[in-house]
């Protein structure tokens, strides 16, 4: 059992769209420095949970009941103005498609500077130093030629790294990655997963890694939560989920994995990521 002091985010919510329940008494906790995987099929409520944590659900169409405690503050009681101060600074989000998340009309330097100035009004050299550190942290060049590029002039993998650099620019306590590798090829996906693991280790940053793919979470997650039809059906360490799945739905997910992905693959992938 984790102590209360070690819990960064504690979620205990139900969410409705009109009369339709989307999340039903969902309870989970993200520990400090932990990578927690949230796995579920399309329509299970994964993205709804992420949007609820970030305060991005349409308040006119949805109703959130319960609490979302982040650093001992209940975010369900925050105004939109208060949430804007947190988003990008203490809470960050990386989405599925980098080329649609980045502004196609603005150069990379401009977008990174806007992300910095959204929360800091310090001198420009501080901004440039922060941008350089963020880009170097995701293995991208910080030279002028690269910063002058538009998103369309980069590969999808580079664009995703830029998006991650923007997300960690202010060194947030929690990064939410919502299907952040599903639009990438297998090799680039592996590189981005290793990058997430590296950033979490080096910065002590917690992560909520959301995916429909149980195999993709094996290499970086400390624990895994299984979400099915708006309810959490199982939660355990990565080793427990892969070696001894308890719920029938989790067992079906495991049975659907490629035969070459045996139960030892999870531990092998985690060791490989930790060596980077």
**What pLDDT, in 10s, does the model give residues 203-245?**
999 999 999 888 888 889 999 999 999 999 999 999 999 999 9
- pLDDT grade, residue 90 (50/70/90)? very high
Whole-number Å distance between alpha carbons of 264 and 276: 19
R_g (Cα) of the chain, nearest Å: 19
Please give the helix or strand (H or E) that residue 174 lies within, else none.
strand 174-178
Whole-number Å distance between alpha carbons of 19 and 64: 12
CB atoms within 10 A of CB 226: 23
CATH of the domain at 201: 3.40.50.300
Any domain includes 44: yes
- Find tokens 């939660």 and name the residue: 235
Any domain includes 137: no
Query: Taking residues 8-37, what's their average pLDDT?
Result: 96
Q: What is the pLDDT of residue 261?
A: 57
Whole-number Å distance between alpha carbons of 224 and 116: 32
- pLDDT grade, residue 85 (50/70/90)? very high
Max CA separation in the chain (angstroms): 56
pLDDT in tens, 126-176: 899 999 999 999 999 999 999 999 999 999 999 999 999 999 999 999 999
Counted domains in the chain = 1
**266 secondary structure, DSSP code:** H
Give the residue, 272 or 140, on which the prediction is more confident.
140
Enclosing domain of residue 248: 4-90+170-274
Any domain includes 178: yes
Burial class (CB in 10 A: 0-12, 13-18, 19+), 248: exposed
Q: What is the pLDDT of residue 3?
A: 66
pTM: predicted TM-score of the whole model, two decimal places: 0.90
Any domain includes 143: no
Any domain includes 132: no
List beta partners, residue 206. 174
Q: What is the pLDDT of residue 186?
A: 85
Any domain includes 47: yes
What tokens does 160 get?
Answer: 């995703």
Q: What is the pLDDT of residue 183?
A: 78
Any domain includes 142: no
Any domain includes 156: no
Q: Does residue 24 carry a pLDDT above 80?
A: yes
């Amino acid at each position: 059992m984790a102590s209360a002091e070690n819990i960064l985010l504690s979620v205990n919510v139900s969410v409705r769209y009109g009369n339709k329940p989307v999340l039903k008494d969902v309870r989970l906790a993200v520990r400090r420095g932990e990578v927690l995987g949230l796995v579920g099929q399309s329509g299970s409520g994964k993205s709804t949970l992420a949007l609820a944590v970030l305060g991005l659900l349409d308040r006119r169409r949805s109703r959130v009941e319960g609490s979302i405690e982040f650093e001992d503050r209940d975010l369900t009681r925050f105004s939109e103005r208060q949430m804007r101060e947190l988003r990008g600074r203490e809470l960050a989000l990386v989405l599925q498609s980098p080329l649609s998340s980045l502004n196609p009309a603005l150069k990379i330097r401009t977008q990174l500077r806007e992300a910095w100035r959204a929360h800091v009004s310090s001198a420009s050299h501080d901004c440039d130093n922060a941008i350089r550190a963020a880009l170097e942290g995701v293995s991208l060049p910080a030279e002028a030629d690269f910063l002058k590029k538009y998103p369309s002039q980069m590969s999808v993998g580079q664009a995703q790294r830029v998006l991650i650099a923007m997300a960690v620019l202010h060194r947030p306590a929690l990064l939410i990655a919502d299907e952040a590798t599903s639009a990438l090829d297998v090799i680039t996906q592996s590189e981005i997963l290793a990058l997430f693991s590296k950033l979490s280790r080096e910065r002590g940053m917690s992560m909520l890694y959301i995916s429909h793919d149980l195999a993709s979470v094996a290499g970086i997650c400390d624990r895994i939560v299984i979400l099915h039809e708006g309810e959490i059906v199982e939660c355990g360490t990565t080793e427990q989920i892969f070696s001894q799945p308890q719920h029938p739905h989790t067992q079906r997910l495991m049975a659907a994995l490629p035969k070459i992905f045996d139960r030892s693959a999870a531990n092998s992938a985690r060791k490989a990521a930790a060596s980077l």
